[in-house]
Structure 1
Amino acid sequence: MERLRTSHTGKQIERTQRRSRNKKGQTTGSAARQVADAFLSHRFLPLVKRELLAGWRQKETDFFESLGHLAASFGFEPLPASVNVFPLNVHLAYKAAVEIVNPKIDGYLEIAEIDGRVRLVTAAQLDTGLHLYQIPLRPIYRLGRDRSHRREYLLLMSVLAYLCQVVSLPNFRDGYMGGCYEMIGEMLCDMEGEYSEGELRGIVDEFVQVRNEGYHMLDLINDSSHLPRWQGRLKRLKPVTALQREIHKVASNFFALYKQYPQRTYHDNVFDGFLLPSEEYRTLANEYISIIWPEDGWLYEQAVDYFESNRQEDVVQEEPLYLHVYDCPFPAPKDNLDFEIRLFDYLLDLEDILFKLL
């Protein structure tokens, strides 16, 4: 899928129950007679939850108003509200619209509740390429121990401070990856016979390093002084070597992103369960995006294998969504994902640099 390209609105978008099939509706007049006749030959089950019918007139009005905007944008004649009683009319009209719209978009047509109003939304995912966006801290720790690379180290610390403090990337102490490390440590107790005494000492040393040097580095990058000093550190590093040029470039890119979007996080446009909500097995964004500790070695390989084995069972990967909300004719996108596109690209660049520091 093509990488999609914003202006963030901050609207809260929540998935609502899609109108189900074969649900009992409410109406008056001639329609009531039809329902009565149907009752003579059919057994009705309580398929419609009472809360779904609460405020149903407004929901129906909102839906068909939004459907009109959608139809105007895609050039088709929508089914009218009179096609059946609520909620069957919504279901039939939505199903007909899906058959027309979905083939024309790189995504899905969904019903959502936005600011208390029922709206039709076209949603497409940013293609993250099923990549693991893992930013290792250990290479930066090692770089910092070399006084000749002090300026590169401090510049990278400003970048990591931005990713932790502003972008809110998960980490190996509090996030999913921390749980992976703990799980692997517990599994190690059952694998003692598979390793020699020397190998076990090396593995245990890796876990000790995570809790000592690793946690200490997390504390350092959460220092509030790194962001105010970022621009000055960019100016002080005069790139000469290839490594310095790469570090300066990626730090400059992240700094420009920070200045343009000073409060954006990686998950602002990730709406868990919005697409294909019936699928139970999902890879969440905080699972494939993380700050990790080692960039190689036994623990690194075990963590990657653990994640990949779990992801193989998943059907959906939660990614940033590109949304059009049909609350008016020909709506502009709520967010063109400029921030997310650049963020993920820069994360890959940073990851490449850090893995080169082996």
Structure 2
Amino acid sequence: MNYATQHHIGNYQHTRTATTTAITPTVRRVRPLVTKAKRCKPGAERQTEIRTHSNATNGILKCTFLPKLKTAQSVQACKKTAKTERDFYQSLYKLAEHYSIEPMQTKHFGFPYNIALSMWDMEAKVKRTNIYWEEIRLVQDSEKTFLTSEERFDTGTTLYYIPIVPLYQMLHDKMRKKNAKLLVSVCSYLYHIADIPYYRQEKSYLYWLYEMHQDWAEDEENQELKRELKQAELIGNIIEQKLFSRHNLTFFKQRLNGFISRDTFDHQCWQIACNAFTLYTKYPKATIFRNAPLPEQDPYNDDYENEIIGMEKYISFIADTKGWLYENIESCINNEFNECGIMEEPTICKAFDDSEISQTNLDFESRLFALLNDLSYVLNNYKTT
């Protein structure tokens, strides 16, 4: 179950297809004849009738024609096809070994059906064994032919926003203070190591949205909006100071081992902290953006970068996910995202050519997004006693 804040981003697509304009070929006009053809006048005498020899009809069977492949151009094409097939199968076996798959034997089929059949077979098998598989592509250039695979983590239409106002309230709750300290260590890991953006940082996407609402509040004299903005600023600064201290990481294990669960909420906090500490131990330097796709350029669209939903836009710490202020922020986010066509997600591209094959996977991303989801759920459902 996905507990993080959700919204539908509309119909977006991963790739854009450039529109091409057909070029009309030049029409060659047929020149008219200068003079009309004259008919031959019939003569008085008929010409001598000539009959075809009886064996002439079988003459074509005695002729020898060279096969088309014997021409220099066809021989060159045949060599090129043979190299393409050789490169393809070398790449195919590397891909099959990487994903521990037994490929179908297709060499006895004719070209290019053998290649198409191999790719169809491999796509079906990789899809069954790798939940993050996206597609397999055949790449050809002037020198070689090889396969590439793309693995992508599907984030869905979820805003992975971690509210810190509930964490602040928990720190002032005598019954849940130990829970709060445990979750502060979790958030400190996300802040320092996983590199989750914080909404009080000027470079963050949410900082710009809060500033925009601050301007609106001043123009419209909206007291309720001003109050929530002031709270978001004050609490945001206080919690950031706590998260900034690396002592939270130093005492992470000690807090985890000394925590005693008394009820369901305690157990949820403890489990979240266990998962975070495991990630911190196994991937001590990994960030959420380690497999963020590199921005592509669309030559047909100058505003291509403005149509991308970057990962930093839907992953962040936030003041709160309740109240009038958040409803307005969420509305702005939905309006902006609905105008975008591409959503960035953790992606790994592997080339099966002569280079070394990347052993990177999406295990870290899978665990981290699950952690963000669970942490958001606990904080959003925390109630002061």
TM bracket (short chain): 0.5 to 0.7
Match of 1:205 among 227, 230, 237: 227
Q: Describe the SS at the equivalent of 1:172.
A: coil
Match of 1:334 among 359, 373, 379: 359
Match of 1:287 among 313, 331, 339: 313
User: 1:284, 1:171 → 2: CA distance?
Assistant: 15
Contact 2:217 2:226 in 1 (8 A): no
For 2:292, the equivalent position in structure 1 comes to 270
For 2:206, the equivalent position in structure 1 comes to 177
Q: Describe the SS at the equivalent of 1:147.
A: coil
Task: Measure how far apart 1:210 and its partner are.
Answer: 2.1
Normalised to the residue count of structure 1, the TM-score between the two structures is 0.66
For 2:150, the equivalent position in structure 1 comes to 123
Describe the shift of the 1:177–1:153 C-alpha distance in structure 2 as closer, same or farther (beyond 3 A): same
Q: How many residues align?
A: 281
User: 2:348, 2:118 → 1: CA distance?
Assistant: 17
Contact 1:67 1:326 in 2 (8 A): no
For 1:46, the equivalent position in structure 2 comes to none
Q: Which residue identity does 2:262 align to in structure 1?
A: V
Q: Is 1:107 aligned with 2:134?
A: yes
For 1:300, the equivalent position in structure 2 comes to 326
Task: Measure how far apart 1:185 and its partner are.
Answer: 2.3
User: 1:96, 1:309 → 2: CA distance?
Assistant: 42
For 1:355, the equivalent position in structure 2 comes to 380
What pairs with 1:79-228 in structure 2 (closer than 5 Å)?
104=124, 106-109=133-136, 120-174=147-201, 175-189=204-218, 192=220, 200-228=222-250
Task: Measure how far apart 1:239 and its partner are.
Answer: 0.5
User: 1:225, 1:316 → 2: CA distance?
Assistant: 39
User: 1:69, 1:230 → 2: CA distance?
Assistant: 49
For 2:36, the equivalent position in structure 1 comes to none
Contact 2:193 2:287 in 1 (8 A): yes
Q: Is 1:70 aligned with 2:95?
A: no
Runs of at least 5 residues in structure 1 that lack an aligned partner in the other structure: 1-29, 32-62, 78-91
Q: Which residue identity does 1:128 align to in structure 2?
A: T
Q: Is 1:316 aligned with 2:342?
A: yes
Contact 2:91 2:146 in 1 (8 A): no
User: 2:374, 2:358 → 1: CA distance?
Assistant: 28
Match of 1:246 among 257, 268, 284: 268
Contact 1:159 1:254 in 2 (8 A): yes
Contact 2:217 2:223 in 1 (8 A): no
Q: Describe the SS at the equivalent of 1:122.
A: strand
Normalised to the residue count of structure 2, the TM-score between the two structures is 0.62
Task: Measure how far apart 1:304 and its partner are.
Answer: 1.3
User: 1:122, 1:234 → 2: CA distance?
Assistant: 40
Q: Describe the SS at the equivalent of 2:150.
A: strand
Q: Which residue identity does 1:121 align to in structure 2?
A: T
User: 2:300, 2:92 → 1: CA distance?
Assistant: 26
- What is the CA RMSD across the aligned residues, in angstroms? 4.1
Percent identity between the two aligned chains: 26
Describe the shift of the 1:119–1:262 C-alpha distance in structure 2 as closer, same or farther (beyond 3 A): farther
User: 1:154, 1:178 → 2: CA distance?
Assistant: 26
For 1:230, the equivalent position in structure 2 comes to 252
